[in-house]
Amino acid sequence: MDIRHLEYFSEVAEHLSFTKASQSLHVTQPSISKAIKNLEDELGVPLFYRSSKQLELTDAGKAVLINAKKVLEAFNNLTLELTDMMELKTGEIRIGIPPIVGAAFFSKLIGQFKETYPEVKITLTEVGTKKIKQGVENGSLDIGLICTFPTQNSPFEIIKALKDPLMLIVHHDHPLAKKEKVHFSDLEYEPFILYRKDFSLYDKIIEECGKHQFQPNIVCESSQKDFILGMVEGKLGVALLPSKICEDINSNEITILPFYQSEVNLELGMIWKKNKYLSYAVREFISVSQEFVKSKNES
Helix (H) or strand (E) holding 253: none
* Same domain flag for 280 and 144: yes
Same-domain pairing of 71 and 142: no
Q: Clarify whether residues 271 and 157 are in a common domain.
A: yes
Q: Which domain holds residue 16?
A: 3-86
Task: Indicate whether 178 and 153 sit together in one domain.
Answer: no
Q: Are residues 149 and 228 in the same domain?
A: no
Q: What is the pLDDT of residue 55?
A: 87
254 and 125 fall within a common domain? no
pTM: 0.59
Check whether residue 82 and residue 115 sit in a common domain.
Answer: no
Longest dimension (CA), the chain: 77
Write the DSSP string, 19-70. HHHHHHHT--HHHHHHHHHHHHHHHTS--EEE-SS-EEE-HHHHHHHHHHHH
Last residue of a domain, one of 67, 86, 105: 86
The CATH code of the domain that includes 185 is 3.40.190.10
CA dihedral defined by 153, 156, 157, 162, rounded to 10 degrees? -90
DSSP letter at 117 equals: -
Sequence-ordered list of residues with C-beta below 8 angstroms from that of 93, at least 6 positions apart, any chain:
120, 121, 122, 123, 142, 143, 279, 281, 282, 285
55 close to 16: Cβ distance less than 8 angstroms: yes
Answer whether 141's CB lies under 8 Å from 285's CB. no
Do 95 and 81 share a structural domain?
Answer: no
Q: Is 5 within 8 Å of 35 (Cβ atoms)?
A: yes
SS3 call for 219 = strand
Which amino acid would we find at residue 22? S
Q: How many structural domains are present in the chain?
A: 3
Contact 271, 143 (CB under 8 A): yes
CA distances from 87 to 90, 104, 121, 193 (A): 6, 32, 13, 48
Residues listed for the chain = 299
Say which CATH number the domain at 25 has.
Answer: 1.10.10.10
Per-residue pLDDT in tens (0 to 9) along the chain, 299 residues:
788 888 898 998 888 888 888 888 888 988 998 988 988 888 899 998 877 677 889 899 899 889 888 888 888 878 777 776 556 566 789 999 887 666 666 788 888 888 888 888 899 998 888 889 999 999 999 999 887 777 778 899 999 887 888 999 999 999 999 999 999 999 999 999 998 887 778 888 999 999 999 999 999 998 788 899 999 999 999 999 988 888 888 889 999 999 988 778 888 889 999 988 888 889 889 999 998 888 876 65
Same domain (yes/no): 250, 182 = yes
What is d(CA 95, CA 169) in angstroms, rounded to the nearest whole number? 30
Contact 34, 8 (CB under 8 A): no
**Structural element, H or E, at residue 191:** strand 191-195
**What residues contact 90, with CB distance under 8 A and at least 6 apart?**
119, 120, 281
